[in-house]
Amino acid sequence: MRVDLSKGSCTSEPLNMEWANLYLGQRGLASKYLSEEVDPKCDALGPDNKLIFATGPLTGTMASTSARYSVITKGPLTGAIACSNSGGFFGAELKYAGWDMVIFEGKSDKPVYLLVQDDRAELRSAEHLWGKSAWEADDIIHATHQDPQMRVACIGRTAENGCLYAAVMNDRHRAAGRSGVGTVMASKNLKAVAVRGTQGIGNVDDADAFVTATNDGKAVLAENAVTGQGLPAYGTQVLMNVINGVGGLPARNMRDVGFKGAENISAEAMAEPRKSDGKPNLTTNGACFGCTIACGRISTVDPTHFSVKDKPQYHGSSGGLEYEAAWSLGADTGVDDLDAITYINFLCNEDGFDPISYGATVAAAMEMFEDGVITTKETGGIELRFGDAEAFVALTEQFVSGGEFSADLGLGSRRLTEKYGKPELSMTVKSQEFPAYDPRGIQGIGLNYATSNRGACHLRGYTIASEVLGIPVKTELNDTDGKAELVKAFQDATALVDSAGLCIFTTFAWGMDNIAPQIDAACEGDWSVENCLETGERIWNMERLFNEAAGFTADDDKLPKRLLEEAIKDGPTKGQVNRLGEMLPKYYEVRGWTPDGKIPDETRKRLSL
């Protein structure tokens, strides 16, 4: 479906199957559309940018983790291609309404939302929704249409206020979170997409083979220790103590590695009954659509905690802390108050902004405050010190309601630190904030961050699986040998998994030999392991070409000086820095790129680009 927001029209068009055969779906296929239709040099927040909601061929099917959809656009935080992936139930619903993809173009004069009910799609006025949080907008849309089974993806107030890392929220607590895809949605005056689909999916290529392949896949997930036991019981938060233990947990704007308070904000702490009401922070685990892993955390804040004491609307259960958010809101700001960061995480969901970028931006602001670069004059009167939970809660409440310091915080760490003359304090790649693994302690993830097409991100190539958890094979944390090949393999495989509509967490248990048969049974054409891997590589290179055309060069494949020069002060990884220089030339080589990181003609030709 193509929605021209300038004209107010919705039109149906067939999927380009020639491209689908080369780029599969979701991330890959939508990035192809974006590459063909959008000038990479355009203003990300101008009407020439497009915003694509895309499902994959397995989205909405009985394959495990079939919830995923992505939002693809040129990102305002990075200026690079942005693809943010989300679970929940919205993606499958879009597919059931009969749509693989929705391309939004232009800009509406007034706030609107897209209503999709099977074949029917129309733009409706969202003037009554503008200025509302994502949760309020979700409630109002459900009430308006008297349809509890409708699924809603929408933006909150931070996107409307121009925060450059605003998310698209769906199903209240699932997010296409990174790179500011929600900010692009706001720039188009598009508040929400509401979908009800009743047509289902009946065009699986080989239904019998598909049921067999997906059942085989589910059995593998159930039997694996990580996907069958660890993730359902502890969620991604199982990593907090593990990563801290190996000397890979950054803290306080990455000034330090290792955080004393880590265990207070870990999965184990979430399961501990609290004194006030005898309940643990964790209510239960919850699944996204079709997921047989069910790693999601559903949590409550202690109702007697200072942050929510007089706010009964936050006493119920909602999406709880995942590892990355617990790290950014916790270790990176030095705050080890589990209830405070659970509450702040609720606010991130309620008003739709990326907790990784937010926490890391606050951490940079805290370092500037402690260094005397900014004062209470800038922060709206808040003493912004590392480890101060009350200050952080007050700051976040001010941020969501557009208070004094919110415009600064909404810039993200790179622009914020530049504004106050301290760019070296920004812990970012391509202007996007790091997630929760320190590249000094863990070498390969540093190379992945530096070369990631959407800026610093663990979800482009999760080498932690190998470097820390030994999946599929253990590589040493501080080795640089072999990391170029490792990063490439993870990046390419991830691009393929995303493009299928599956969750990357399956790959703790699944290899491409588990995934390819599921795609092959669902889709026309040959989806062998080899073709899947080549498709992943093609997608990675296509994204790189978009960024190249947007003006990115090898100079942007870098890490902040702090991570290359300031050695870790103590702990098991003491003395280490990231040795990107040893890995990057090799990485370009294994990718078939020139020594200055350009994609030469023969590589383009090999990948049919």
Rg (CA), the chain: 22
Q: Which is nearer to other proteins, 182 or 197 (CB)?
A: 197
Q: Among 209, 220, 298, 609, which residue sits at the site for other proteins (rule: CB under 8 A)?
A: 298
Least CB distance to other proteins at residue 109 (A): 34
| Sequence-ordered strand ranges (E) for 80-156 | 81-86, 101-105, 112-117, 120-125, 151-154
* The two structure tokens encoding residue 486: 């490792």
| Closest CB to other proteins among residues 123, 231 | 231
With respect to other proteins, which residue has the nearer C-beta, 288 or 512? Answer: 288
With CB under 8 A as the contact rule, the residue among 12, 284, 401, 553 that binds other proteins is: 284
Give residues 166-185 in contact with other proteins (rule: CB under 8 A): 172
Q: Which of 224, 119, 114 is nearest to 471 (CA)?
A: 224
- The string of DSSP codes covering 393-440 is HHHHHHHHTT-TTHHHHTT-HHHHHHHTT-GGG--EETTEE--SS-TT
User: In Å, how far are 89, 201, 559 from 92, measured between CA atoms?
Assistant: 6, 10, 37
- When asked if residue 117 is in the footprint of other proteins (CB under 8 A), the reply is no
* 381-410 residues near other proteins, rule: CB under 8 A: none
CB 181 within 8 A of CB 75: yes
**Nearest alpha carbon to residue 352 among 524, 149, 135, 189:** 135
* Contacting residue, 61, 253, 466, 480, with other proteins by CB under 8 A: 61
154-162, 311-319, 410-418, 483-491 -> range binding other proteins (CB under 8 A): 311-319
| DSSP structure class, residue 273 | P
Residue 335 engages other proteins in binding (rule: CB under 8 A): no
Q: Which is nearer to other proteins, 85 or 300 (CB)?
A: 300
Minimal distance, residue 202 CB to other proteins, in Å? 4
Among 60, 248, 412, 501, binds other proteins (CB under 8 A): 60
Q: Which is nearer to other proteins, 134 or 249 (CB)?
A: 134
Does residue number 478 form part of the binding site for other proteins (CB under 8 A)? no
CB of 150 to other proteins, least distance (A): 11
In 3D, which of 483, 436, 488 has the Cα closest to residue 580? 483
Residue 62 found at the interface with other proteins (CB under 8 A): yes
Told to check if 294 binds other proteins by CB under 8 A, we report: yes
Q: Is 301 in the site for other proteins (CB under 8 A)?
A: no
Query: Which residues between 139 and 158 bind other proteins (CB under 8 A)?
Result: 149
Beta carbon of residue 303, minimum distance to other proteins (angstroms, whole number): 13
* Binds other proteins (CB under 8 A): choice among 5, 72, 257, 287: 287
Strands 174-176 and 190-196: unpaired
Q: How far apart are CB 213 and other proteins at their closest, in Å? A: 14
Tell me the C-alpha to C-alpha distance, in Å, between residue 332 and each of 159, 253, 319, 341, 359. 23, 5, 21, 12, 7
Window 204-223: contact mask with other proteins (x via CB under 8 A): x--x---x------x---x-
Q: What backbone torsions phi and psi does residue 522 show, to the nearest 5 degrees?
A: -80, -35
Identify any residues that bridge with 115 across adjacent strands, giving them in sequence order: 122, 194
* Beta pairing class for 51-55 and 101-105: antiparallel
To the nearest whole angstrom, how small is the minimum distance from the Cβ of residue 469 to other proteins? 22
* Integer Cα distance of 256 and 363 in angstroms: 12
- Closest separation between CB of residue 265 and other proteins, Å? 20
Binding mask 251-280 for other proteins (x = CB under 8 A): ------------------------------
Does position 352 bind other proteins by CB under 8 A?
Answer: no
Ramachandran sector of residue 273 (left: φ over 0; alpha: ψ -120 to 50; beta: rest): beta
Minimum CB separation of residue 193 from other proteins in Å reads 18
Residue type, 574: K
Cβ of residue 246: shortest distance to other proteins, in angstroms? 30
Cis peptide before 472 (omega within 30 of 0): yes
- Judged by CB under 8 A, the residue of 46, 128, 147, 200 near other proteins is 200
Between 118 and 534, CB nearer to other proteins:
118
- Stretch of residues binding other proteins (CB under 8 A), selected from 61-69, 152-160, 180-188, 585-593: 61-69
SS3 for 307? coil
User: Long-range contacts: 586-589, Cβ < 8 Å, 24+?
Assistant: 586/484, 587/447, 587/451, 587/484, 587/487, 587/488, 588/554, 589/484
Contacting positions for other proteins (CB under 8 A): 60-62, 64, 89, 92, 96, 149, 172, 197-202, 204, 207, 211, 218, 222, 232, 283-292, 294, 298-300, 316-318
